């Protein structure tokens, strides 16, 4: 992220989504090998042969292999994609932008300039309130509504965004050559008579 910062821009905070969505994957990660071990032990002790006489002792190695492959399929097909999706999602708040990056291999970026934010809304479900996360929606004039899901410590993150918006420089000062405002009767120092040394 630091390589893509514009001059004067600073990173305020970087985080990932609240890991509550990994709860199901964590449970499956633990239960899949437990069920596979239980089923394998049941097949080795002759449970499969008693249940279906056609499945004699010669089928036991195949049944154990099937149990192991089923557990591996749960890990690779259910747990790993969710972990990689969470690992590949990152929210970065800078002094000028809110940036969301999704994906490890196929990357997708979403950016909102803080200067264009017209309204900030926080949505929290009951479960999100229990884990202090929430969805932050930024309403802009030209992009419509951009939502960042499951932001951890959503109240603090909202305050960070509001502070960053409040500290944005005026458009006239941020743009090179922009007009500057001076108090009534005052002139820029370079325009005052004798205020510039041309030596």
pLDDT band per the 50, 70, 90 thresholds, residue 152: very high
| pLDDT value for 178 | 40
Other CB atoms closer than 10 Å to residue 14's CB: what's the count?
A: 13
| pLDDT value for 174 | 43
| pLDDT value for 26 | 94
| pLDDT value for 9 | 83
Q: Where are the chain's structural domains?
A: 9-18+89-171, 20-87
Residue 78 Rama label (left phi>0; alpha psi -120 to 50; beta): alpha
Across 84-119, b (16+ Cβ under 10 Å) vs e yields ebbebbebbbbbbbbbbbeeeeeeeeeebebeebee
| pLDDT value for 49 | 63
Q: How far apart are CA 116 and CA 143, in angstroms?
A: 9
| pLDDT value for 151 | 93
The residue ranking higher by pLDDT, 198 or 117, is 117
The average pLDDT across 114-139 equals 91
- The model's pLDDT over 179-195, given as tens digits with 9 standing for 90+, comes to 344 344 333 333 333 34
| pLDDT value for 194 | 39
**How much is the mean pLDDT over the chain?**
80
Q: What is the CATH number of domain 9-18+89-171?
A: 2.30.29.30
Structural tokens at position 168? 């944005």
The residue ranking higher by pLDDT, 66 or 197, is 66
Q: For the whole prediction, is pTM greater than 0.75?
A: no
Between 8-17, 23-32, 64-73, 168-177, the lowest mean confidence (pLDDT) is in 168-177
The average pLDDT across 161-173 equals 79
pLDDT band per the 50, 70, 90 thresholds, residue 76: very high
Residue 4 reports pLDDT greater than 90:
no
């Amino acid at each position: 992220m630091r390589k893509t910062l514009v001059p004067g821009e600073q990173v305020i905070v970087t985080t990932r989504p609240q890991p509550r969505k990994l709860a199901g994957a964590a449970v499956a990660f633990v239960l899949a090998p437990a069920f596979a071990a239980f089923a394998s032990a049941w097949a080795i002790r002759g449970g499969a042969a008693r249940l279906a006489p056609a499945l004699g002792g010669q089928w036991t190695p195949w049944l154990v292999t099937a149990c192991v492959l089923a557990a591996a399929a749960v890990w690779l097909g259910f747990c790993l994609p969710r972990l990689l999706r969470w690992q590949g999602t990152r929210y970065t708040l800078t002094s000028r932008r809110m940036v969301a990056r999704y994906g490890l291999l196929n990357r997708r970026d979403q950016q909102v300039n803080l200067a264009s934010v017209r309204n900030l809304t926080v949505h929290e479900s009951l479960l999100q309130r229990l884990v202090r996360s929430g969805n932050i929606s930024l309403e802009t004039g030209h992009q419509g509504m951009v939502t960042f899901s499951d932001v951890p410590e959503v109240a603090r993150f909202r305050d960070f965004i509001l502070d960053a918006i409040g500290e944005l420089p005026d458009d006239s000062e941020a743009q090179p050559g922009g007009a500057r405002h001076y108090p009534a009767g005052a002139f820029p120092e370079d325009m005052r008579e004798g205020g510039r040394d041309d030596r």
